[in-house]
Structure 1
Amino acid sequence: METHLCVDIYDEVGIGGGASGVAGGLLHPYSPKECWKESLNLLSIAERALVNEGKGETLENGESPVIRRRGILRPAVNLKNMNIMTEIAQNCLANCRIELIHEDAAQKLIPNLSVPLNLAFYLPQALNINAQSYLKGLYLACENLANEMSTLGHGHRELSFRQKSVQSLPEIAGDYDAVIICFGAWAAFLPELSGKLPLRTCRGVIAQLQLGDDMREEYPKHIPSVLSDAWLAVHGARNIDLGSTWDWKSKNYSRDVTTDEASKATEVLLPKASSVYPAIKNWMVTGAVAELRAMPPLTADGSLPLLGRVNECVDGDHTCKYWLFMGLGARGLLFHGWLGKLLALAVLSCDEDLIPCELTSWKHKMD
């Protein structure tokens, strides 16, 4: 039996134009294996879609425009950090390879690296993702799949992107069977959800650095990115992103960064970065971008995303089912694939029980 499926995506700022497209993109595998597996699968799909479309030519150094496969190095900067990472390394899953190395080995990976406690953690399988390119590639792959399935006679499939703002949920309900709300921090603007979600907002500024033309000591192309109190996401021999600040309870939704805000952010970030990579002092700050994260609440099980059906928040006819998917915070790149798959199954089956109860427990506190 043929089925017809129509999916409309509403986003005022375009594909990759929001907080997700600004993310630093450091993806590491010390996580549930389901998350890592689904993330790799979607990354591969997005990368392939861009290449097939002629938009994903490899860069001069042979790297993909989506993924930099050079691993991540995490120097231990304090005893608490060292103990946590050591425990993770000792109990890591088969899909998670973490190597404990000392200063001399770390400096072979990254010349002139400072290792305060003579111990660093090397994650060779970790990736550095260009988040905006990835999101554009993923949308392109979805569009291609919809067209392909329609052509092959699997029923009509249609995917549409509507670059417009949404002021309230009922205005887009229309004839939809389901609406999935994944507005992130912007959910506070929806009258149906305002004040009802246990989200914590946090603005983060990322500084964009470039090596001056008069400097010859480039960041070697083969070496990993750095994860520390501040992280260094490498985008080539002469371009690095440095992040990120944490401005809790911020209500600043703008992606633009004022000169004053950028200056204050670099004053915070540069000392942290130079404590592990002193050569960063030779780099110039050329710009900055910002994001407002929607952070989940702290619970006994950790900081867990918010998923579930939220019909009770919307007055009127509930022939359209409303679902929530947000609160991924700074770990969206890691969790989105696995959780998105679970939510899609729940929506198509109209069965919220397919979602782990830990991710819907926040709803009980609304009663």
Structure 2
Amino acid sequence: MLLFDSLSPLTHSVKISSPVLLSSPSHRPLRYAVLGAGFAGLSVAWHLLKQSPKDMNLHIDLYDEVGIGGGASGVSGGLLHPYSPKVKLLWRGAECWKEGLNLLSIAEQAISSEELDSETGEFSEGFGGFIVRRRGILRPATNMKTLNILNDNAQNYLPSCKIETIDKDAALKLVPHLHVPFNLAFYMPEAVNVNSLRYLKALFLACQNLVKEISVSGDGKKRLHLQKKSVSELRELEGEYDAVIICLGAKADLLPELAGRLPLRTCRGVILELQLPDKIGEDYPNHGPSILSDAWLAIQGNRHLYMGSTWEWKSRNSSPNVSTDEASNALQELLPKASAVYPGLRSWNFAGARAGLRAMPPLTPHGSLPLLGCVNNFLGENLKCKYWLLGGLGSRGLLYHGWLGKLTAEAVLSCNEQIIPSELTSWKNK
């Protein structure tokens, strides 16, 4: 049974108005390059395939030197909810939440009859695992500022993701031995804890399945190829594609054409894996939620969880590998924060660490918003290709990627940047 089987896939198609985009079985195919196979890149690829007219010949090359989920997206903690402890109302939270759940539904449908081979990383029949590991996220109030913001969110929650204000006794029924400093906690039963890497691979599978379905129908020809190689400069692609969509996260600034021109800050985050020792018999409750606090706990099972995340600003280290010293420092930083609300965590053992380099967007009057839009003006004149950017998703990539990928695909297919809200393109005017 699918976790999101009540949600239907996108059926919206974009009207193609620009002559350069006209394509049919008798014309040359339209060629797009999507740089990056994380949350942003795979969302864009899916929506380009889904929203383009069925009779359009469309070829998409997805570039990533590591492969699906090889960057920060693949090591994300995977806690998905539409709220923030820093602002009372998250900008466009409803749209982001809706489209995020929609893509989760699509990914789960794709793997409902598939199995991932542990050695090859490919899917085969009989898959029986889950993308969503846990339902529900609990946030105890730990200070007055957070308490006031969460109280306001609880009064103005989205109908599709309610926030329940619960007392200490109710919180302890969900997570025994939880510490609730203000005797008040906020529970989001519809929020989810996603296995990010499995989700990304399943979304890529959904893209492949969509290509097959369209080919079988005979309406048109669509192709999707994963190119496991890096693009060191955009001029390598000039003349090869009709559009290039840059979804490289923190690595976008490494492209010489964009270096120093994007208002992004890099931040390396370390996530720790912890396991409960065999000698301790009391498991984490089967239906217990994940926990948000000054450090978060993404519960992966009765005896297995992820704890995160550190914030190393201005880092350029994009390696997922974590040294012994870096892991030790992360443990010293995160364990006191997480154990302040879940004291039993001090009995858990360190089992591993991973890291990702996030691209953090600038602060605006609407909050920290990602960067979208056409960037041809950064690259020069008389270009044969249109270049687009979807970047700066920061620590909310899982929440933002569905809606922003849809917006980006619509803008690319119609050659119309006006589709994108001005709040997301205004960075180019500064």
What TM-score comes out, normalization by structure 2 length?
Answer: 0.82
Aligned counterparts of 1:156 and 1:74: Cα–Cα separation in 2: 48
Q: Is the 8 A contact 2:270 2:310 kept in 1?
A: yes
- The amino acid across from 1:13 in the alignment is V
1:276 maps to 341
1:147 maps to 212
Shift of 1:58: 7.3
Q: Does 1:50 align with 2:125?
A: no
What TM-score comes out, normalization by structure 1 length?
Answer: 0.96
Q: How big is each residue's C-alpha offset from its partner over 1:186-245, in whole Å with a ceiling of 9 and x where there is no partner?
A: 112100000000001111100000111211111111110000000000111111000001
SS at match of 1:106: helix
1:259 maps to 324
Shift of 1:314: 1.7
1:10 maps to 63
1:345 maps to 410
Aligned residue among 375, 399, 423 for 1:310: 375
Q: Is the 8 A contact 2:373 2:420 kept in 1?
A: yes
Q: Does 1:241 align with 2:241?
A: no
Q: Does 1:96 align with 2:157?
A: no
SS at match of 1:165: coil
- The amino acid across from 1:21 in the alignment is G
2:80 maps to 27
SS at match of 2:351: strand
Aligned counterparts of 1:120 and 1:33: Cα–Cα separation in 2: 23
Aligned counterparts of 1:29 and 1:363: Cα–Cα separation in 2: 27
Shift of 1:96: 2.5
Shift of 1:70: 2.3
Q: Does 1:295 align with 2:368?
A: no
1:84 maps to 149
- The amino acid across from 1:170 in the alignment is R
1:222 maps to 287
Shift of 1:48: 1.4
Q: How many residues align?
A: 361
SS at match of 2:278: coil
Q: How big is each residue's C-alpha offset from its partner over 1:325-364, in whole Å with a ceiling of 9 and x where there is no partner?
A: 0001011100100111011010000000000000000000
Shift of 1:281: 0.7
- The amino acid across from 2:351 in the alignment is T
Q: Does 1:41 align with 2:102?
A: yes
SS at match of 1:235: strand
Aligned counterparts of 1:174 and 1:274: Cα–Cα separation in 2: 55
Aligned residue among 323, 336, 352 for 2:401: 336
Aligned counterparts of 2:261 and 2:157: Cα–Cα separation in 1: 37
SS at match of 1:187: helix
Identity %: 61
Aligned residue among 384, 388, 396 for 1:319: 384
Aligned residue among 262, 281, 284 for 1:197: 262
SS at match of 2:326: helix
Q: Is the 8 A contact 1:29 1:125 kept in 2?
A: no
Q: Is the 8 A contact 2:79 2:194 kept in 1?
A: yes
Aligned residue among 157, 166, 170 for 2:222: 157
- The amino acid across from 1:34 in the alignment is E
Aligned counterparts of 1:104 and 1:46: Cα–Cα separation in 2: 37
Aligned counterparts of 1:141 and 1:191: Cα–Cα separation in 2: 33
Q: How big is each residue's C-alpha offset from its partner over 1:232-276, in whole Å with a ceiling of 9 and x where there is no partner?
A: 001111110000011111121111100000000000000001100
CA RMSD of aligned residues (A): 1.4
Q: How big is each residue's C-alpha offset from its partner over 1:87-140, in whole Å with a ceiling of 9 and x where there is no partner?
A: 011111222210001111100000000001111000000000000000000000
1:119 maps to 184
Aligned counterparts of 2:220 and 2:229: Cα–Cα separation in 1: 28
Unaligned stretches of 5+ residues in structure 2? 1-23, 25-54, 84-89, 117-122
SS at match of 1:124: strand
SS at match of 1:54: strand
Query: Residues 58 and 100 from structure 1, CA distance in 2 versus in 1: closer, same or farther, beyond 3 angstroms?
Result: farther
Q: Is the 8 A contact 1:310 1:324 kept in 2?
A: yes
SS at match of 1:120: strand
Shift of 1:317: 4.1
- The amino acid across from 1:22 in the alignment is V
Aligned counterparts of 2:216 and 2:68: Cα–Cα separation in 1: 25
Aligned counterparts of 1:120 and 1:206: Cα–Cα separation in 2: 24
Q: Is the 8 A contact 1:29 1:95 kept in 2?
A: no
Q: Does 1:361 align with 2:361?
A: no
Aligned counterparts of 2:350 and 2:131: Cα–Cα separation in 1: 23
Aligned counterparts of 2:219 and 2:147: Cα–Cα separation in 1: 53
Shift of 1:4: 0.5
Aligned counterparts of 1:288 and 1:110: Cα–Cα separation in 2: 25
Segments of 4+ moved more than 6 angstroms:
56-59
- The amino acid across from 2:193 in the alignment is N
- The amino acid across from 2:408 in the alignment is L
